[in-house]
Amino acid sequence: MKKLFSAFVFFAFSINLILAQASQEYVFRVMVSSGKNEIKKSESWQPLRTGNKLSLTDQIQIETGSFLGLAHKSGKTIELKTPGIYKISDIASKINSATASAAQKYADFVVAQMTKDGGKTINQRKGTTGSTERAIPGAIKALLPYSVTCNVFEEKTNVVWYTHTGTKEYSVNLMNLFDESVLKKVTKDTTLVIDFADEVFKKENDYKILIKSNDVTGKSSGDGYSFHKLNANEKEEIEKEIKVIKQTDTEESSLQKIVLASFYEDKKLYLEALKKYKEAIAMEPEVSEYKLMYQEFLERYGMTKVKK
């Protein structure tokens, strides 16, 4: 009888231990915390910061004008903007917890970017990230990585460059890797839409782009900007992963845009990443973290304006 009682006590203790451990395992990570947000662990309220892990027993409080972006362990994201106190268990119960997907990888990447440099949040290191100037000083500067090939996913690609002092007209020359001109355009604008579905781009997938000033002698973008047009198989693989990410978050949100931006960056689809950062900022203009992430992205690839 004693043995049976002891076995029952041990079993009950083990179950309680398992349940206690499960309640302490994190179900969400904080992707973005803008404004005054707090977390309650045990009895005390503490500031809620990007990178914090939230378990089922935690509570969070959102003040008026604040924004909180959470990533579930499955990769699904959720935005909270309505002031109030929330139980993490209640939020988790409303999420259809599918198997962890590609979205989880990129949500984790966003959190890592937001809390790098010894755990500093992006706001704490504001202004400390040095700009990487890879283009030639004084050159025409495009919103493209310099000396890094940019993959092209969309057939119609919009190339943008900064206004160059003294230049009213630009010549744009797209060449293959043998420096043979494939397409030439003259424009007074600082943007040009390239249609890679055009017949002239059917034979090859890799190109260089050169932007010259028609008003200032010797001024150009240099030969460091290049594109790789994805072939059908490469596009198919990208589309599959995008579908998985969008299935994880069926509703479009600023957090989904940020997750997609990190996905596109990983795939060297830098122009697509640019678009997603801008879309996220447009959706939540008060969230300064998005603007700082966008700025760091530009600096990471030397896409900030050349200093004179």
Where are the chain's structural domains?
Answer: 24-100, 104-308
Pairing relationship of beta strands 191-195 and 156-160 according to DSSP bridges: antiparallel
Homologous superfamily of 104-308 in CATH? Immunoglobulins (2.60.40.10)
Q: Give the pLDDT of residue 22.
A: 42
Is the confidence at residue 121, as pLDDT, over 80? no
**Average pLDDT of the residues in 40-69:** 91
Is the confidence at residue 264, as pLDDT, over 90? yes
The model's pLDDT over 65-113, given as tens digits with 9 standing for 90+, comes to 999 999 888 888 889 999 999 999 999 988 765 554 667 777 777 877 7
Q: Which residues contact 237 (CB under 8 A, 6 or more apart)?
A: none
Alpha-helical runs (H) found in 141-287: 232-248, 254-266, 270-283
Is the confidence at residue 126, as pLDDT, over 60? no
Alpha-helical runs (H) found in 126-283: 232-248, 254-266, 270-283
d(CA 174, CA 223): 11
Q: Give the pLDDT of residue 307.
A: 55
* Element containing residue 59 per DSSP (H, E): strand 59-62
The single residue listed with the structure tokens 């043979």 is 180
Q: Give the pLDDT of residue 18.
A: 39
pLDDT-based confidence at residue 212 (cuts at 50, 70, 90): very high
Tokens of residue 13, six digits: 């203790």
Question: Exposed, middle or buried by CB within 10 Å (0-12, 13-18, 19+), for 229?
Answer: buried
Q: Are the beta carbons of 203 and 214 closer than 8 angstroms? A: no
Q: Are the beta carbons of 21 and 84 closer than 8 angstroms? A: no
pLDDT-based confidence at residue 131 (cuts at 50, 70, 90): very low
- Mean pLDDT over each residue of the chain, to the nearest integer: 84
pLDDT-based confidence at residue 283 (cuts at 50, 70, 90): very high
| pTM of the predicted protein model | 0.79
Q: Give the pLDDT of residue 123.
A: 57
Closest CA to 265 of 126, 113, 133, 100: 113
